[in-house]
Structure 1
Amino acid sequence: MSSFGQDGARDFRASVEDDGLDGDYSMVDDHPEGPDYYILLGLSRNPPPTDAEIRSAYRNLSLSFHPDKQPPHLRHAAESQFRHIQDAYDTLIDPKKRIVYDISGAEGVRQEWGQLGAMGTGGEAQQQNVGVKTMSPDEFRRWFLKTMKKRERRTIESLVSSRGGITLGINASSMVSVDEDEDVQFHIPSPQISSYGLSYKFDTPLSLPQFWDTAEKESDNQDAEADSAEDAQDEGSEAAHITLSAGINGGLGRPVKKFQVQFEDGTQEQELITMPPILAAHNIQLGASVFPNMKNLVGTKGIWAKHPFSLLRDSAISFEGLLLPSPTFKANIVRNFKPLSNVLPIQVVATSVHTRSLSETPPSLEVQLVRKLSKKKHGVISWSSGVIEWPGFLLGWFPSLGMGPQSAVRSANELGHFQIGLISRPLSPESEEAEEDDEETGDSDHDEHHHQSKKHKHLMNKSGESWESHLQVSPGGGALVLKYSRNLFSGKPADDPVKTEWSSEGYFPMPNMDEARAIRLEVSSIVSSDLSLNWTIKGTRRVGEYTRMGLGIGIAEKGMMMTVTWRRLGQNIDLPILICPASEATNGATALTAMFPWLAYCAIEFGYIRPRDRKKRRKAAAQRHRELKKLIPKKREESLQAIELMADQVQRRQAREEAHDGLVIVKAEYGYIPPTNKKAKDGFTEPRVIDVTIPVAALVNRGQLVISKKSIKFQILGFYDPAPLLPKRLKIWYRFQGRDHFVEAGEKENISCPLRAHFIST
């Protein structure tokens, strides 16, 4: 194996583009420090190994690495390797530790079984009414994920003490003007604050009376834990809570007063003096929303387990009340219905709205039906009754019923409507991962067309492409609403992720903020029945771990509007800016005004931000490369010692395979191979490969060799990384049933030997 020269770091930075790594520094993240326990024991993650397979792998490795069975010069190396093997065995043989390891790695196991960890002294496990030790693996997994989510929620909530928003409307209409010839002119504006808005809300736990005894409650908790679907449904509402909210919005008036001024010569003049601004509140809101957990409130036994009361128990219910601007009460119920056993469920959302006394009108109704049509598409149908008047025969029987003149005028805008729409949403990270697991096979001779299709699907999901189309009809007219959004430019997605990294499916960490960031583009348009068009184009970019900023422009009723937004953990700042009044918003003004901010942003993004970030990432990759390069001699020595320790056992097993015409590893090489389709950079023209024949042969189990694409190959026992952060390949020459064969795979490709085509019919 050749080594790098003194200018290796500089050559490495220069070779990044030549080796196809430009813009993708994922290899830096794919170079973990600690060993992978599955790879260390030679086991597969999917399907998960049985206890018998774990014990068998541990016994086989103990024969080669137990310190008491080694000569003196290899005893220290055997102790080091055997300590890792023992840790891997102790973790994977314990079902609960294995679950935590699969979710958060070896560090997560040490942390959660340490002091103040979930399973340690003073942890959440000691605070459970039902012992965690008695839980089944599935129950423990749900409990652990729920516990981690609660812990994370407390951490996030500690970062921000309140949730609310500030909106400041700015009048900068002097920025753009259009003359009689429709020539667009830009001016330095004199912006003034024209409107304002404040909103604030916070959550607090809600104590409700309980209608069941303690024994029933514990039984209900056990039943709930055994039902993963119900746990997932209740994930966002584990306890009853109430949300209190308040808001105010209005305009900013600048009164002008006239004064009569008399001079010494007797002349008089009128002067206008601007008085201090006056805040005018157009709307004041004050209300609360209650979210009871019906399952915990009424239990799951007795009458609540029978139809139709079970509909209430298995539903998500909330109540919303407003005191200002007018007393309003809303009751919502959400439930999934499955008409047939072999069809997807339909989500039904029913809302009852009480805006006035029952003596005037009955409550209005709103119903929404949502059905999943495919993995990404959902169909939506909604109907609202608007204001419903009491029937004429009731008005004749009860003269006190009916609306007065004031209520009738106020209800003129409360019209019913019918809406039908189609929504396409991007797949969630957990859905993508599950789909990849389902499609993964152990045969390396997969179809190339299928591979390209999966790659295209992954790129489409990464773009986060989504769209909506709604057709709305009401007595006052109709409208067609179209929305489209996706991530632009390369980099990590910029669409709003779930605030939690934990869900009922597992742990999904947020993107690394050191990588390039994409722009989330959102385009929306509304075509009214009179063919008037309103549209908005908005771009959002992550500027911090929890912070996003957005810039948008569009046509509204007031004219050309520009919006600047800031978001962080429920705290919002919105700045709608009027830059051109409706009377002057011609097509030319619209096009120029829409293009100007986007061109300015693209110039900054690609002229300064991206080159700066790319330079930082290259320097970080070069620094990481230097650190890993220093470890190569040590890793090489550990690899040679491991090979020497396992050589005898492996050779005996290979002799038994050869005696039965089984799978015999003749030769195996692993490392960096220069590209053949272009000229390699100086210093990278020679291959950097190592002999891994013995380590690969040690992985043969029952006449088969399987290495998953998710395995980090240089972590296999007896391997090491001869070319850090460079693309590497594994080549294997093997003999099966008396014939020689060859297989080759990259870092993220499956290996399976022998292939089906190499079997000889007997």
Structure 2
Amino acid sequence: MSESSEPTATATAARAFGAHLEDDDGLDGEFGTATEYSDQLDYYSLLGLAQKPPPTDAEIRSAYRNLTLMFHPDKQPSHLRESAELHFKRIQTAYDTLIDPKKRVVYDLLGAEGVAREWGHGGAMGAGGDAERQQVGVKAMTPEEFRRWFTKTMKKRERKAVQELVESRGSITLGLNADSTIRVDEDDDVTVQIPEKVVPMSYAAKYSFQTPLSLPTFWQKVKEEEVQDQQKETPDADIVDEETEDLVHVTFNAGIAGNIVHRRQHAKAQFEDGTEEDMEIPLPPVMVASNISLGATLTPNVRELIGTKGIWNNRLFSTLRDSTVLVETNVLPVPLLRTTVARAFQPIPGIKPFQVTTKTTFMRSLLESPPSFEVHVTKEVAPRKLAFCAWSSGLWYYPDFLLDNFFFRGMTLEDMYASAGDLSSLQIGLISLPKQPLNAISMDEDDAESEEAELRRHLLKKQVTDRAAESWQTFVQVSPGGGGLGLTYSRNLFSGTPANDPVKSEWSDEGYAPMAKMEEARAVRVEVSTTVSPDLSFVWNIKGTRRVGEFTKMGIGIGLADHGILMTIGWSRLGQGLNLPIVICSKDEATHDAAILASIFTWASYLAIEFGYVRPRDRKRRREAAARRHNQLKKLVPKKRAESEQAIQLMTDQVRRRQMREYEQDGLVIDRAEYGYWPPTDRKPRPGFEEPRTTDVFFPVANLVDRGQLVISAKTVKHQIIGFHDPAPLLKKRLKIWYTFQNRSHFVDIADKEGVILPQRSHVCPESEQFNPLATN
């Protein structure tokens, strides 16, 4: 056993990671391993079992029986009894967890802490937990049924927690006027300066929150009857209670918008010398509300509401049952009722369905005008390409013969003037969606062939490339009031976490996938949009959005608009937003050259801040965190080494007897085994890491030999195998095994996260490195 502890390693590693920590060996540049290094015991590794394929109950009992015979405290000498008790308790806990199918499911998902939490008070399986509220007992479920039930329970718990964070949404917008920032003279020379003054000129505030709506118990009784009928029809079906969805959700919304008027009062000042002077005294600004909105949106769960029995099973209601329905009502500024129905239609079997959305809006009495209609049709025409067509009727008028011969009274001139902007329109366009991210491919022992490994590398490389998430949209719009051509393009710039990533669920039907604690650099989502009018005039805008926190995003945009050159700054966090549109150049002086210059200046300023300050600061923080983690683990090495040495003493006699039996049967005999860090041979090691840091693991590896075979899974945490310890925390380690099988010497060298099955013919050892069986024991 050899441990390298060069005195120069401390300072070298600290300087390499930008940290100045006492007695720190560093991480050899592998910052990501700091987050993957777990302090929890791996029960599979402890018992010497592979997690995939799952071990059988017989294999678990066999491993437990062998280890308990080896580490039973009553069979050990007094000086090793305390160590034996420690290992025996760990083995007992691992066995109790893995032999219980339901605890094993939770352990595979959440680890030992998850088992203790979910079987404790308030957990899913504890007192007052979700298991007690099940119609079908959890104890009667098979492991597969229990896994589905547990993941659904965790998803429901997670969704509830997220909804509590974003149960309300609000935004505040404050428009500012700083048009003296950019000046354009008669010769089109552009001058950028600090604005003389910044004046608020407009404001807007919106707020909404969602709540479920309780309905009479009649609907619940109908639902219960349908569930009972379903159980009678399929008594042997696999019925697992799912989350009961609310029948109706109501979203209340309110808003106010208007202008900020700055007033001045004329006054005449008289001085002591008798002179007078006219003055203008600024008065407090007045907020004038030009639009006040108040309303609600109802989202009914049509399938749950109407059910499937009786008249609800006819063609009309069955169509509604498979549709998404929204009902929107407004009280202010004018009474409004809007219904939206969305459904997918497949007129010809085998083709991509059409997604059809219809809207009907009632804004006035039916005696005055018919309701307006909107139809939106979308169809997938190619992978990730959607074509759409949208038509809006706008304001309709009753024809004269209806007004003359029936009771319709028509609209007044005041109503027509107020609705002059409600015109019909037709929009046709094409949308390109970003590529979906590829899932990482797990590599088992049988995936080591070159072709499959090359395919995996190609896919992982493609996954990084696809993170650009390019998307675009183009459309043509025509209406009686004009028309135009619009184009929007967006993509992620720089590698890192995308800015527009939603809050990802850590739970899925496949299991649990926790987020990494050490975040990588964040990307910038850039969006360019432009609209060209029939007279070939156009407006454009460039916007960049970046995540600045776990749930916080910040965006900056600049472009040429009707108000002039407009800069927008916005923050958003968990449904709450703050927007600041700033006019930095008046529309009388605004030119495309000035807007482009402002965009370049803004982009250059961002790049200087991002790459000159933000990313170096984040890298330094990650390095310091990784170095601190390494320092903590390194201090535990002597303790872990002592525990492993005591475990080896406890298993020595039994391992020798088992190896002797293998030798007599001409089976698998372990000659030598070492585990730890070896300096790289393909490049020069960093200063302080020239010497290996390894430990002798002959007895722990020989203890894993069972019936002439040694199996170490790729999922096995090697430094948690009984008798192992980690001599080089967070460094890249390897396991080297020399063994004899049928009088031939073999050698295998595997990485820390690779698995191996011995014996193998490909592991022939050179003659110069052959060992005499049992000679090193």
Selected match of 1:417 from 395, 406, 426: 426
Q: Deviations over 1:428-476 (max 9, x none)?
A: 6xx62xx524x76633234353243133133235x45241323344344
* Matching of residues 292-303 of structure 1 within 5 Å: 292-299=300-307
* Aligned residue number for residue 692 of structure 1: 697
Supply the distance in 1 between the matched residues of 2:710 and 2:352 (Cα, whole angstroms): 40
3-state DSSP class of the match of 1:442?
helix
Selected match of 1:40 from 35, 38, 46: 46
In structure 1, give the amino acid aligned to 2:376: V
Selected match of 1:173 from 164, 171, 179: 179
In structure 2, give the amino acid aligned to 1:728: K
Supply the distance in 1 between the matched residues of 2:455 and 2:26 (Cα, whole angstroms): 22
3-state DSSP class of the match of 1:97?
helix
Supply the distance in 2 between the matched residues of 1:382 and 1:736 (Cα, whole angstroms): 72
- Displacement of 1:396 after TM fit? 8.5
* Aligned residue number for residue 97 of structure 1: 103
* Aligned residue number for residue 90 of structure 2: 84
- Displacement of 1:749 after TM fit? 4.4
Supply the distance in 1 between the matched residues of 2:671 and 2:246 (Cα, whole angstroms): 58
3-state DSSP class of the match of 1:621?
helix
Note if contact 1:672-1:723 (Cα within 8 Å) is conserved in structure 2.
Answer: yes
Q: Deviations over 1:381-401 (max 9, x none)?
A: 343343385897994896445
Note if contact 2:339-2:359 (Cα within 8 Å) is conserved in structure 1.
Answer: yes
Supply the distance in 2 between the matched residues of 1:131 and 1:386 (Cα, whole angstroms): 56
1:119 aligns with 2:125: yes
* Aligned residue number for residue 201 of structure 2: 194
Supply the distance in 2 between the matched residues of 1:481 and 1:297 (Cα, whole angstroms): 41
In structure 2, give the amino acid aligned to 1:200: Y
* Aligned residue number for residue 608 of structure 1: 613
CA 1:282–1:396: 2 relative to 1, 3 Å:
closer
Structure 1 unaligned spans of 5+? none
* Aligned residue number for residue 381 of structure 1: 388
* Aligned residue number for residue 746 of structure 1: 751
1:208 aligns with 2:215: yes
* Aligned residue number for residue 3 of structure 1: 4
Supply the distance in 1 between the matched residues of 2:572 and 2:370 (Cα, whole angstroms): 40
Q: How many residues align?
A: 746
Supply the distance in 2 between the matched residues of 1:544 and 1:220 (Cα, whole angstroms): 50
* Aligned residue number for residue 21 of structure 2: none
Supply the distance in 2 between the matched residues of 1:701 and 1:603 (Cα, whole angstroms): 61
CA 1:578–1:654: 2 relative to 1, 3 Å:
farther
Q: Deviations over 1:371-416 (max 9, x none)?
A: 5965xx3535343343385897994896445963566662654323
3-state DSSP class of the match of 1:383?
strand
Supply the distance in 1 between the matched residues of 2:635 and 2:706 (Cα, whole angstroms): 34
- Displacement of 1:240 after TM fit? 3.2
* Matching of residues 110-509 of structure 1 within 5 Å: 110-152=116-158, 155=161, 162-189=168-195, 190-209=197-216, 210-211=218-219, 212-213=221-222, 215-216=224-225, 219=228, 240-256=248-264, 272-299=280-307, 309-335=317-343, 349-359=357-367, 360-369=369-378, 371=380, 377=384, 379-387=386-394, 389=396, 395=402, 399-400=406-407, 404=411, 410=419, 413-425=422-434, 427=436, 432=439, 435-437=440-442, 442-447=446-451, 448-460=453-465, 463=467, 465-475=469-479, 476-489=482-495, 491-498=496-503, 501-503=506-508, 506-509=511-514
- Displacement of 1:183 after TM fit? 1.9
Selected match of 1:677 from 638, 658, 682: 682
CA 1:265–1:633: 2 relative to 1, 3 Å:
closer
In structure 2, give the amino acid aligned to 1:417: L
3-state DSSP class of the match of 1:679?
coil
Q: Deviations over 1:512-553 (max 9, x none)?
A: 3x6453132222222425344443333333333332322222
Supply the distance in 2 between the matched residues of 1:541 and 1:533 (Cα, whole angstroms): 27
CA 1:597–1:220: 2 relative to 1, 3 Å:
farther
In structure 2, give the amino acid aligned to 1:248: I
Q: Deviations over 1:223-255 (max 9, x none)?
A: 9xx899997xx89x6563211100111211224
In structure 2, give the amino acid aligned to 1:457: K
Note if contact 2:342-2:358 (Cα within 8 Å) is conserved in structure 1.
Answer: yes
3-state DSSP class of the match of 1:619?
helix
* Aligned residue number for residue 521 of structure 1: 525
Note if contact 1:9-1:626 (Cα within 8 Å) is conserved in structure 2.
Answer: no
Q: Which moved more, 1:532-541 or 1:645-654?
A: 645-654
Note if contact 1:16-1:22 (Cα within 8 Å) is conserved in structure 2.
Answer: no
- Displacement of 1:420 after TM fit? 3.6
Q: Deviations over 1:276-332 (max 9, x none)?
A: 322222322211112233344344566657766444445443322222233332333
3-state DSSP class of the match of 2:488?
strand
Selected match of 2:635 from 630, 645, 666: 630
Q: Which moved more, 1:694-703 or 1:315-324?
A: 694-703
| RMSD over equivalenced CA pairs, Å | 4.3
* Aligned residue number for residue 767 of structure 2: none
- Displacement of 1:572 after TM fit? 0.9
Q: Which has the larger radius of gyration?
A: 2
1:540 aligns with 2:545: yes
3-state DSSP class of the match of 2:447?
coil
Note if contact 1:421-1:469 (Cα within 8 Å) is conserved in structure 2.
Answer: yes
3-state DSSP class of the match of 1:32?
coil
- Displacement of 1:629 after TM fit? 1.5
Supply the distance in 2 between the matched residues of 1:164 and 1:56 (Cα, whole angstroms): 60
- Displacement of 1:727 after TM fit? 1.8
* Matching of residues 5-20 of structure 1 within 5 Å: 5-15=6-16
Supply the distance in 1 between the matched residues of 2:350 and 2:743 (Cα, whole angstroms): 50
Q: Deviations over 1:347-380 (max 9, x none)?
A: 5554444444445224413334365965xx3535
1:729 aligns with 2:738: no
CA 1:270–1:626: 2 relative to 1, 3 Å:
closer
3-state DSSP class of the match of 1:436?
coil
- Displacement of 1:676 after TM fit? 2.5
1:551 aligns with 2:553: no
Q: Which moved more, 1:525-534 or 1:714-723?
A: 525-534
CA 1:736–1:249: 2 relative to 1, 3 Å:
farther
Structure 2 unaligned spans of 5+? 19-24, 765-777
Q: Deviations over 1:101-142 (max 9, x none)?
A: 233221121112112222222333334455444445455445
* Aligned residue number for residue 573 of structure 1: 578
- Displacement of 1:257 after TM fit? 5.2
Q: Which has the higher relative contact order, 1 or 2, with Cα contacts under 8 A spaced 6 or more apart?
A: 2
Note if contact 1:670-1:690 (Cα within 8 Å) is conserved in structure 2.
Answer: yes
Supply the distance in 1 between the matched residues of 2:6 and 2:503 (Cα, whole angstroms): 46
Note if contact 2:428-2:475 (Cα within 8 Å) is conserved in structure 1.
Answer: yes
CA 1:484–1:263: 2 relative to 1, 3 Å:
same
In structure 2, give the amino acid aligned to 1:383: A
CA 1:389–1:752: 2 relative to 1, 3 Å:
farther
* Matching of residues 657-672 of structure 1 within 5 Å: 666-672=671-677
Supply the distance in 2 between the matched residues of 1:665 and 1:221 (Cα, whole angstroms): 61
Note if contact 1:387-1:411 (Cα within 8 Å) is conserved in structure 2.
Answer: no
- Displacement of 1:166 after TM fit? 0.7
Q: Deviations over 1:595-648 (max 9, x none)?
A: 223333333333333333333333333332222112112212322344454556
Q: Deviations over 1:194-234 (max 9, x none)?
A: 110011111222101333357436548989xx899997xx8
Q: Which moved more, 1:334-343 or 1:88-97?
A: 334-343
- Displacement of 1:176 after TM fit? 0.5
